[in-house]
Structure 1
Amino acid sequence: MAVIVNTSISSSSSSSSSIGSGIVSISYPDSLKIHVLSFFWGLWSLFKKLIMYGLFNNVTKSKCDSPPSCLVDTSLGQHNYVKLKGVKLHYVEAGNKDKPVLLLLHGFPDCWISWRYQIPALALHYRVIALDLKGFGDSDKPESRKCYRLDILMSEIAELISSLGVSNVSIIGHDLGALLGWFMVHLYQDLVNKFVAISCPHPNIYWSSLPNTSSFNTSWIHYSQLPHLPELDALRDDLSIINHCYKHLSSDEASKPYLDAYKYSFSRKEDWTGPINYYRNLPFWRVNVGDSEPSVRIPCLLIVGNHDSGVKLESIVKSTEYLEKFAVKVVEGVGHFPHQECPNDVNKALINFFVGNKTKLAQKTPSGGLVFKMFDAVSSTMKYGNQVLDIVQKKTNGLTSKAFYVGESSTT
């Protein structure tokens, strides 16, 4: 396995003042509500654990001392490291170094291996960097909550871009990675050429649109503010949280090595502290944007599965209000991991968006009113297509500046 360690580098040209002016904290009552509910969730959790099975029973211990082969395999790319102001980040790199950089940011709970189906396809056209976010995988895992403050996270990603020897990149993010990507395109728009958000609404919509049917719902966000308990819960019952998140891997024997890789990556309490610290910080911040004009000028593609229990389609639609040029692709028959569950269709959409220039982007129209068009079939059934359009029309009533396109993959 090839290892490259870079020395510390200077910050990006974007200054910390731009971070301060671009981010606003939530109101004091909203912040207080999170902390109060966190306290009551903590009491209930302690009571349930003591009564039902004891506080520390059924906590999983690591079953192996070495990582599964797929985590260290070099067939997908070269394993590199970069050190930024004392924080070591691990990433897998593939493709020609002379080509534009495409930065891949995984979700929660995940690591670089999330992009195993995308790296080979995208590396034909880009220099692909599949990052282990700080706190995940083989990157450093500082335990302090303050290490995951939003301004620090944004500065580190900007520094990473600079360390690659380029002035800008395109970003694909999934879940938590897309949430960070949303902040990047607002705060460091000069560093990003194009942006793809998979299974993640805009940060100003994200926290208020979590469905109750999702495992990581509003109640979990409140619970995650507590110290230690969320980490201990995650380790219970042979990491059942991993089985629940990756149901699409559990039913496929060929995917079992990847399920084992996730369980290895999250087998210790410290493997969860960093990832959960993101959720101990990010809910308290929003992007400071104007009310009249879209604030993101670069082309954006939003991808979501129509069976995603954690993301409402209407929250994806509402997210387009912040974008000047955009397309939305709804992938039929998949859940929260469309890039893993239906990689061929997602890869085709990504290649079309980045390389083929076949993706029709909605843009500002000179006349008033929304213009609804399709750049693929909304669904294989008219019933679902009508439901999508009905949501669009209801949730965007009164907007007059943009056209809207909904894309849906064909079945595989």
Structure 2
Amino acid sequence: MGVKDNGILQTVTGWPAIRLGLECIYLGLWQLLQLAIRRLWKGRRRKLSPSASPVELRVDSSIGRHCYIKIMGVKYHYVETGTKSGQLILILGDAPDTANLWVPSWSSAVRRMAENDYHIVTLDLRGSGGSEGGSRRDLTPPKAVEELTALLKALGVSESHPAIVIGFGIGGLLTWYLGHCHGSMVSKFIVAGAPHPNLYWQHPPSPFCLGSLHFIQWPHFPERWLAESETRGDTKWASSRARDWSGALNYVRGAAWYRVHPEHKVQARGLLIGTKDSAAQLVASAQYCASPALRLVAKPEPADKDIPPLVLDFIIGKKKQVEEIPRGLVTRMLGAVADRGRELTARLALPANA
């Protein structure tokens, strides 16, 4: 049964779809004019280098093993860390730039999870890193969920051996969909910097969408615009695939036309991470979780120093220290009471010849 057939993912149809289409045309034009004025005012227009490399992987091989897998005819790249016999932790990064997933603090967290016998798979979303791209139709929520579910099954995940899923940004958006549509395959999930999909228009799924959600629905222009905006002469990613926005945009475009059933909740334990400014969004998103925990940080990104401890605590837990002193006090108190009881009993006892 497909994810649309079970009624959890619902397509926007009828008049709401017509209205959305008209809004994307007219409001998108207005947003385009605003962006153009802002661009001209800041004087940041730059040209793309025609010799840019389409794919550039900058992952330290000591962190894990580079792997490729074909799922439903699509080639995915991922980095595998830890033992394959352990519980799977699937990490879905933001798009298009996945560099944050390899900063020292987050890499240390991945190693710590591996030391605790987890099997960590850090996946490049379609159109980012070494994974194959896709058109708007290829990256709709139902298709994305179908491919990710097939990937989980290929990696040994089942209802009896569920996975833990961690998502940042657009990866967090996909984590929400997975939790709703295939919750039996997810034991825990962590979403950082990604509002619930049903809050799409109130709280955009990624910072680059702010003030441009309708314009993003346009073909071609948003990709070009964002690529030029991100190109800097001194940037580390100036000639990598990190400035290829087609994958990220197509994930976001597809999310506009689907809604999760309003009464459906993710049953797995969830950790929702956001900024202090996004507290209202976190509370609203938590309504779609049966067992949520909320945490606020400076930036909901892997590079934030507060993220790794939160994630490790949620997944591994803190080792409980044996409280020897309190236990000793209780034991001595109980012993004293018992001794006093025996003493009173002896005094009240009748003589044997009575």
Q: Give the aligned partner of residue 26 of structure 1.
A: 12
Tell me, in whole angstroms, the C-alpha distance in 2 between the residues paired with 1:40 and 1:18. 30
- SS of the residue corresponding to residue 281 of structure 1 reads helix
Per the alignment, residue 288 of structure 1 pairs with: 261
Shift of 1:136: 1.3
User: 318, 334, 346: which one pairs with 2:284?
Assistant: 318
Please say if residues 110 and 262 of structure 1, whose CA atoms lie closer than 8 Å, have aligned partners that are also in contact: no
Normalized against structure 1, the TM-score is what? 0.67
Identify which of 180, 183, 196 aligns with 2:177: 183
SS of the residue corresponding to residue 356 of structure 1 reads coil
2:303 corresponds in structure 1 to 340
> Residues of 1 paired with 2:47 and 2:188: CA distance?
42
Does residue 349 in structure 1 map to residue 310 in structure 2?
Answer: yes
Deviations 1:96-127 (A, max 9, x none): 11111100011233327525414223222211
CA contact 1:193–1:299 (8 Å) conserved in 2? yes
User: Could you tell me which of 105, 109, 115 is aligned with 2:96?
Assistant: 109
Query: Residues 89 and 66 from structure 1, CA distance in 2 versus in 1: closer, same or farther, beyond 3 angstroms?
Result: closer
1:206-255 C-alpha deviation (Å, 9 max, x unpaired): 432349x95422x4110011111001101225626xx9xxxxxxxxxxxx
Contact 1:295–1:323 (8 Å) recurs in 2: yes
> What CA distance in whole angstroms lies between the structure 2 residues aligned with 1:316 and 1:98?
34
**Structure 1 residues 63 and 335: CA distance shift in structure 2, 3 A:** farther
Query: Secondary structure at the residue paired with 1:76?
Result: coil
- Give the share of equivalent positions with the same residue, in percent: 28
Structure exhibiting the larger radius of gyration computed from Cα positions: 2
- 2:204 and 2:276 map into 1 onto residues whose CA distance is 15
Q: Which residue of 2 aligns with 1:11?
A: none
Pick from 266, 274, 297 the counterpart of residue 304 of structure 1: 274
Q: Distance in 2 between matches of 1:21 and 1:173?
A: 24
One-letter identity of the residue aligned with 1:84: I
- The 1-side partners of 2:199 and 2:34 are apart by 33
Equivalent residue in structure 1 for 2:190, among 176, 196, 201: 196
* 1:29 CA displacement: 3.9
**Residues 48 and 202 of structure 1: is their aligned pair in 2 closer, same or farther, counting only changes over 3 Å?**
closer
Residue 135 of structure 1: how far off its partner (Å): 1.6
Q: TM-score, normalised by structure 2?
A: 0.77
d(CA) in 1 for partners of 2:270, 2:76: 26
Alignment-derived partner of residue 22 in structure 2:
36
DSSP-derived class of the 2:77 partner? strand
Gaps of 5+ in 2: 321-354
Q: Distance in 1 between matches of 2:286 and 2:34?
A: 43
**Partner deviation per Cα, 1:359-378 (whole Å, 9 max, x = no partner):** 9xxxxxxxxxxxxxxxxxxx
SS of aligned partner of 1:21: coil
Who is 1:9 aligned against? none
What amino acid does structure 2 have at the position aligned with 1:21? Answer: G
- How far apart, in 2, do the equivalents of 1:237 and 1:324 lie? 40
Following superposition, the deviation at residue 18 of structure 1 comes to: 6.0
> Quick one: distance in 1 between partners of 2:114 and 2:242?
28
1:15-68 Cα offsets, whole Å, 9 max, x none, are 316655111123544433332232235545379869x87xxx733226654866
Aligned partners of 1:306 and 1:262: how far apart in 2?
Answer: 31
Structure 1 unmatched runs, 5+ = 1-14, 244-255, 360-412
Residue identity opposite 2:209 in structure 1: F
Aligned positions of 1:9-408 closer than 5 A: 15-16=1-2, 19-26=5-12, 28-41=14-27, 43-44=29-30, 45=32, 58-61=46-49, 65=53, 71-111=58-98, 114-116=101-103, 117=106, 118-125=109-116, 126-142=118-134, 144-167=135-158, 168-210=162-204, 215-217=208-210, 219-237=211-229, 239=231, 260-261=236-237, 264-267=240-243, 271-290=244-263, 295-306=265-276, 312-331=278-297, 334-337=298-301, 339-342=302-305, 345-356=306-317
Cα distance in structure 1, aligned partners of 2:203 and 2:319 = 31
Q: Secondary structure of the equivalent of 1:138?
A: coil
CA distance in 2, matches of 1:33, 1:234: 26
Query: For residue 122 of structure 1, what is the amino acid of its counterpart?
Result: M
Cα separation, 1, equivalents of 2:291 and 2:216: 35
Aligned-CA RMSD value: 3.1
Deviations 1:123-173 (CA, angstroms, capped at 9, x unpaired)? 22211100001121110012x211112111001000101111232210010
Runs of 4+ in 1 over 6 A off after TM superposition: none
| CA contact 1:105–1:173 (8 Å) conserved in 2 | yes
Shift of 1:183: 1.1
The whole-number CA distance in structure 2 between the counterparts of 1:80 and 1:222 is 36
For 1:264, give the aligned amino acid: S
Check the 8 A contact 1:302/1:329 in 2, yes or no.
yes
